[in-house]
Each structure stands twice: as structure tokens, then as C-alpha cells.
Amino acid sequence: MAMLGTGKMVELARPLTRLVARIIDGAIFFVLSLIPLLVGLQDFDDLADEPLGVSLALTAIGLVYEVSLVATRGQTIGKMAMKIKIIRAGDGLLPGWDMSTVRWLVPAIPSLIGLVPPLGLVGLLSLLVYVSLTWDKVRQGWHDKAAKTLVVKV
């Protein structure tokens, strides 16, 4: 349980529930990623020719999927399936576009930096962003802290 800035108590989502929601979202992202890749490719050698372009396209798909759903519903499809929701820690309302974007950027930036070959290990910081919720009192990962959000049971 956690108390919002309004004094209202909310039940926090468990880390395992959040992980399962992320896995569901990952599967959906994989399917969504295949569509433009397969439509735009003549053969799979094209992937080797444009790795940066492919990475940027995948990043854009992730941005649109995650930010738009979290901003407007507080939930991705994975979170809907697991009956959890992202709310603003202060008042319990939907995060909106700004907080949703910040929340997405915190793990995305290390991943993008990790695309640069000499800096590849920096991408592992993205994993720490998510794991950090396991040692936090109100189960906020670094991305939640940056965006001032909580993930709660619906």
C-alpha cells in the first residue's frame, strides 16, 4: 500500500505482475515490429545494410505504443491484461503525455546509447531501471521516480 499526495491509499502492483505485463508488451512489440520490417524489406540482407535505421524505426514503434497508451489510458495492453495501471503519485490521475514520455525515456536512453558499439554495455542500465523497483519502498523503478508515477492494482 502507498499513500498518494491526496491522502488516498492505493494498492501497489507486485514486481512479478509488472514483469509479466512487460513480457506481454514485449510480445506485442515483437509482432508490431515485424509488420513494417517485413513490408519494407526485399530480403533480410536489407537489415544488415541499415542497422541504425532499423533501430530507430523500432524505437519509434516502442515510443508510440508505450507513451500513447500510458498517457491516455494509464495502461499498456500488458498492464490491462494484468489488471495494473500507471498513475501520478501526487493525485492518482492518468500520467498524461509529459510524464509518460519521461517514463519511457529513462530506460530508452541507455538502450539507444547501447547501440553505439563501444558503448554497448551502457544498454544494460535499462535493465537496472526496471529492477530498481524491487528494492524501493513504494515499488518505483527509476523511470517511475523520474516521472513521479506509481503502478497500482486496478
What confidence tens digit (pLDDT) does each residue in 56-89 have? Answer: 777 888 899 999 999 999 999 999 999 999 999 9
- Residue whose cell numbers read 502492483: 13
Number of residues written out for the chain: 154
| Range of lowest pLDDT (90-104, 111-125, 138-152) | 111-125
Q: Could you tell me the pTM of the whole model?
A: 0.83
Per cent of the chain over pLDDT 90 is: 62
What is the count of structural domains for the chain?
1
CB-CB neighbours of 36 under 10 Å? 14
User: Is residue 46's pLDDT more than 90?
Assistant: no
Average per-residue pLDDT for the chain? 87
Question: Which is more confidently placed, 37 or 132?
Answer: 132
Find the helix or strand (DSSP H, E) in which 2 lies: strand 2-3
Domain that holds residue 68: 2-153
Q: In whole angstroms, give the CA distance from residue 85 to residue 114.
A: 29
82 touches 141 (CB < 8 A): no
Residue 25: helix, strand or coil by DSSP? Answer: helix
pLDDT at 47: 57
Residue 32: which pLDDT band, with cuts at 50, 70 and 90?
confident
CB-CB neighbours of 153 under 10 Å? 13
pLDDT at 148: 97
